[in-house]
Amino acid sequence: MKLGKVEFCHFLQIIALFLCLSGMNQAELSKSRSKPYFQSGRPRTKRSWVWNQFFVLEEYMGTDPLYVGKLHSDVDKGDGSIKYILSGEGASSIFIIDENTGDIHATKRLDREEQAYYTLRAQALDRLTNKPVEPESEFVIKIQDINDNEPKFLDGPYTAGVPEMSPVGTSVVQVTATDADDPTYGNSARVVYSILQGQPYFSVEPKTGIIKTALPNMDREAKDQYLLVIQAKDMVGQNGGLSGTTSVTVTLTDVNDNPPRFPRRSYQYNVPESLPVASVVARIKAADADVGPNAEMEYKIVDGDGLGVFKISVDKDTQEGIITIQKELDFEAKTSYTLRIEAANKHVDSHFQSLGPFSDMTTVKIIVEDVDEPPVFTSRLYSMVVSEAAKVGTIIGTVAAHDPDVSNSPVRYSIDRNTDLERYFNIDANTGVITTAKSLDRETNAVHNITVLAMESQNPAQIGRGYVAITILDINDNAPEFAMEYETTVCENAQPGQVIQKISAVDKDDPPSGHQFYFSLTAEAANNHNFTLQDNKDNTASVLTRRNGFRRQEQSVFYLPIFIVDSGSPSLSSTNTLTIRVCDCDADGIAQTCNAEAYILPAGLSTGALIAILACVLTLLVLVLLIVTMRRRKKEPLIFDEERDIRENIVRYDDEGGGEEDTEAFDMAALRNLNIIRDTKTRRDVTPEIQFLSRPTFKSIPDNVIFREFIWERLKEADVDPCAPPYDSLQTYAFEGNGSVAESLSSLDSISSNSDQNYDYLSDWGPRFKRLADMYGTGPDSFYS
């Protein structure tokens, strides 16, 4: 402060008091500037306070208020007429002023780190007038720092990592301590770092707090973690400075400084020869002190006689080498293998390769153990062929198996009967020759896959398996037949030469060059004036009309016997009968009414089932009327035609039970098929006349009881048969009569004796009986004779 320049400050002397560290001494600096001012002779001017700073030491511990300083005005003559007043920050709470003397005291302990200075205002008033004798002025009380804060590590404790084997002086981490004391004043905030724990491995730079490695070759595998204690001390580390500490956990991170090493120079494993391919033979592991990727391993077979037979791969989790079989072992061929196996680190640090190769070798010896093995067939699958015409005992082929063991015990053959349930084949137990044991049918089974067994005669538990596919060669043993049941009609207005049906044929045989069929009318029908047949030479034939003027009333059904021959050698043939119904057609040749009306009924019948039933009841009524009429007429020659009509009417009645989709309900042939005793095939070979007029018959009238049993048996059979078509003619019949079936039939016993009564009775019961006969293969014909 240049006092010389403060001449204009003529009223107020500011006395600043400096207090020394003890805080108790005080020096009063007071200077009167009035004299020089007046001497200058300048006009007297009111000037403001000359403000200054007071300094007060923080953290005063005494009991009395701490003296800060004194305000004094020149106007103050010491007579008590001047009053000093203090205002501003902390006035009257922290700082008080003696209004008479101007002495300022601090009443509280002050903390620089809380507030470093206070701005206050001072006033000098005339006690009497209360008028300021000086203008108000501002001044500052500054808090003087003492070293009352120790350094602190705000970010501690620290953790850090450094690679193992790092060179000396590699920095690890920097620690920082902060000191709340005044960094601009003294050394209270000047910190110096030192290491209390962690030597000699680590050091810390005193000024920066950077921690560095202090030893070379620090090995993670020896010790991987260090706990350091770092101290920060203020007052530049001098005695009396305050200090703080922190801990630093330093982890050494792994580097690949350890090569893999097999614990042993050689290993030996025993393996049964039966162990399947891909089985694990052994697991070996090269040790590696490193961790993670630095311990990742690669194994390979570098040498030895087991190359190609064994394989080594690495287990990613355990880093073990897994030796597996790659090719089937055979004790009889080779009894031991030697493998040279190398283990190498996957990731090698070039820095450490000077330590030597990061790989190791070991020898693995594998001893193959003998196992008693089942016989082995010379081939896994034998293919053989045999003609279906082959006689029982024909040799088909030979299989062979041998015991692979050194003992080479003899082998006995057999056929696994589960694969030849019907025992079509035999095998010679000693020679392995397979023969037929039964006649074969290609049409039933074209291929037989059988399993042959070879058993060691000394040890029946050792069974080898071979597979034989026996293909049956076709011979022409099936005659051709119609490809389907043809539903043929001819229109009443048909013209001669009109094609009314195209037919084709099928044959169960399978000739290598395909089928060739030849069609013709049978010799008896060759001069048929009604229809003719034309072979289309493409395995089909056309049936044509030969005349016009077909009349339903005249003849409603024609039967045309057609002869079909196949091209086999020798060829087979059959006669198939085509049934042709005469129909009334519209102009377009669409059948409108045939004699069997059910045949052309539209499929939409279903919509009115009730109406259909009503229609049937009506038909029945008509039928009854018709029968009554017939009985009166008693014209025998009409029996067949009439009877047929009646039968057909009954059949229509059956339609109601057959369901709307049952368009074939009228077909008595289908009903007849229910009778398994009969062979439908035979029907094709009879001429139409024969078929129409004569049916297989019972030669004698059946006994009442037998017949009743027969019917009930059939009834039961039909009831339980899930495959039977849904004809309910059986039920219909049962409900229709008054009294039991058997009873009504029983009256037939007398028929043969009384022809008149007989016919009357038949025309009454005829329809039912006829149906019954059709179903069970007994025609009414037999009862007429």
Ligand X SMILES: *[C@@H]1O[C@H](CO)[C@@H](O)[C@H](O)[C@H]1NC(C)=O
DSSP per residue, 74-116: TT--SSS-EEEEEEETTBTTTEEE-TTT-EEEE-S---TTT-S
Residue 448, H or E segment: strand 447-456
Shortest Å distance, C-beta 441 to ligand X: 14
Shortest Å distance, C-beta 405 to ligand X: 29
Nearer to ligand X, 378 or 555 (CB): 555
Binding piece for ligand X, criterion CB under 6 A, among 9-17, 326-334, 395-403, 525-533: 525-533
Nearer to ligand X, 469 or 618 (CB): 469
Nearest to 269 by CA among 250, 279, 283: 283
Q: How far apart are CA 47 and CA 135, in angstroms?
A: 7
Shortest Å distance, C-beta 363 to ligand X: 46
Q: Helix, strand, or coil here: 431?
A: coil
Q: How far apart are CA 84 and CA 762, in angstroms?
A: 159
Task: Annotate 391-408 with b (16+ C-beta within 10 A) or e (fewer).
Answer: eeeeebeebbbebbbeee
Binding piece for ligand X, criterion CB under 6 A, among 42-50, 253-261, 398-406, 528-536: 528-536
* Residue window 221-260: x/- pattern of binding to ligand X, with contact defined by CB under 6 A: ----------------------------------------
Q: How far apart are CA 612 and CA 605, in angstroms?
A: 7
Nearer to ligand X, 187 or 545 (CB): 545
* Residue window 416-455: x/- pattern of binding to ligand X, with contact defined by CB under 6 A: -------------------------------x-x------
Nearer to ligand X, 437 or 483 (CB): 437
Residue 623, H or E segment: helix 609-633
Binding piece for ligand X, criterion CB under 6 A, among 66-74, 205-213, 285-293, 524-532: 524-532
Q: Which residue has the tokens 């010379």?
A: 378
Nearer to ligand X, 265 or 529 (CB): 529
Q: Which residues contact 769 (CB under 8 A, 6 or more apart)?
A: 745, 748, 762, 780
Residue pair 433/467 in contact by the 8 Å Cβ criterion:
no
Binding piece for ligand X, criterion CB under 6 A, among 3-11, 103-111, 285-293, 554-562: 554-562
Shortest Å distance, C-beta 422 to ligand X: 13
Q: Which residues contact 297 (CB under 8 A, 6 or more apart)?
A: 260, 285, 286, 288, 314, 319, 321, 343, 344, 345, 346
Residue 531 in tokens: 């229809």
Between CA 190 and CA 200, with CA 196 as vertex, the angle to 5 degrees is 120
Shortest Å distance, C-beta 558 to ligand X: 5
Residue 770, H or E segment: helix 755-776
Residue pair 394/388 in contact by the 8 Å Cβ criterion:
no
Residue 37 in tokens: 């001012």
Among 476, 530, 595, 687, binds ligand X (CB under 6 A): 530
Instruction: Supply the Cα-derived Rg of the chain in whole angstroms.
Output: 64
Binding piece for ligand X, criterion CB under 6 A, among 309-317, 477-485, 522-530, 702-710: 522-530
Count of residues in contact with ligand X, rule CB under 6 A: 9
> Rounded to an integer, what is the distance from CA 323 to the centroid of its chain?
32
Residue 616, H or E segment: helix 609-633
* Residue window 450-489: x/- pattern of binding to ligand X, with contact defined by CB under 6 A: -------------------x--------------------
Among 52, 451, 528, 540, binds ligand X (CB under 6 A): 528
Shortest Å distance, C-beta 534 to ligand X: 17
Interaction of residue 554 with ligand X, rule CB under 6 A: yes
How many other CB atoms are there within 10 angstroms of residue 114's CB atom?
9
Nearer to ligand X, 265 or 380 (CB): 380
Binding piece for ligand X, criterion CB under 6 A, among 30-38, 60-68, 551-559, 645-653: 551-559
Shortest Å distance, C-beta 685 to ligand X: 18
Q: Helix, strand, or coil here: 546?
A: coil
* Residue window 285-324: x/- pattern of binding to ligand X, with contact defined by CB under 6 A: ----------------------------------------
Interaction of residue 734 with ligand X, rule CB under 6 A: no
* Residue window 132-171: x/- pattern of binding to ligand X, with contact defined by CB under 6 A: ----------------------------------------
Q: Which amino acid is at 279?
A: S
728 DSSP 8-state letter: -
Shortest Å distance, C-beta 538 to ligand X: 27
Shortest Å distance, C-beta 532 to ligand X: 11
Shortest Å distance, C-beta 627 to ligand X: 27
Shortest Å distance, C-beta 555 to ligand X: 4
Nearer to ligand X, 417 or 634 (CB): 417
Q: How far apart are CA 302 and CA 308, in angstroms?
A: 11
The number of residues in the chain equals: 785
Residue 690, H or E segment: helix 688-693
Shortest Å distance, C-beta 419 to ligand X: 9
> Rounded to an integer, what is the distance from CA 610 to the centroid of its chain?
55
Shortest Å distance, C-beta 341 to ligand X: 42
> Rounded to an integer, what is the distance from CA 589 to the centroid of its chain?
61
Residue pair 255/164 in contact by the 8 Å Cβ criterion:
yes
Shortest Å distance, C-beta 378 to ligand X: 18
Q: How far apart are CA 521 and CA 535, in angstroms?
A: 10
Nearer to ligand X, 168 or 381 (CB): 381
> Rounded to an integer, what is the distance from CA 300 to the centroid of its chain?
36
Nearer to ligand X, 59 or 510 (CB): 510
DSSP per residue, 12-34: EEEE-----TTS----------H
Nearer to ligand X, 165 or 490 (CB): 490
Nearer to ligand X, 12 or 468 (CB): 468
Shortest Å distance, C-beta 429 to ligand X: 24
Shortest Å distance, C-beta 498 to ligand X: 16
Cross-strand pairs, 163: 253
Between CA 540 and CA 551, with CA 546 as vertex, the angle to 5 degrees is 115
Shortest Å distance, C-beta 703 to ligand X: 39
Interaction of residue 79 with ligand X, rule CB under 6 A: no
698 DSSP 8-state letter: -
Shortest Å distance, C-beta 590 to ligand X: 23
Binding piece for ligand X, criterion CB under 6 A, among 51-59, 208-216, 526-534, 629-637: 526-534
Nearer to ligand X, 53 or 383 (CB): 383
Nearest to 519 by CA among 476, 567, 474, 475: 567
350 DSSP 8-state letter: G
Q: How far apart are CA 595 and CA 584, in angstroms?
A: 9
Q: What are phi and psi of 600, to 5 degrees?
A: -105, 5
Nearer to ligand X, 220 or 448 (CB): 448
Binding piece for ligand X, criterion CB under 6 A, among 326-334, 455-463, 550-558, 690-698: 550-558
Interaction of residue 101 with ligand X, rule CB under 6 A: no
Interaction of residue 555 with ligand X, rule CB under 6 A: yes
Interaction of residue 611 with ligand X, rule CB under 6 A: no
Interaction of residue 558 with ligand X, rule CB under 6 A: yes
750 DSSP 8-state letter: G
Binding positions for ligand X, 31-60, rule CB under 6 A: none
Question: Could you list the residues that contact ligand X (CB under 6 A)?
Answer: 447, 449, 469, 528-530, 554-555, 558
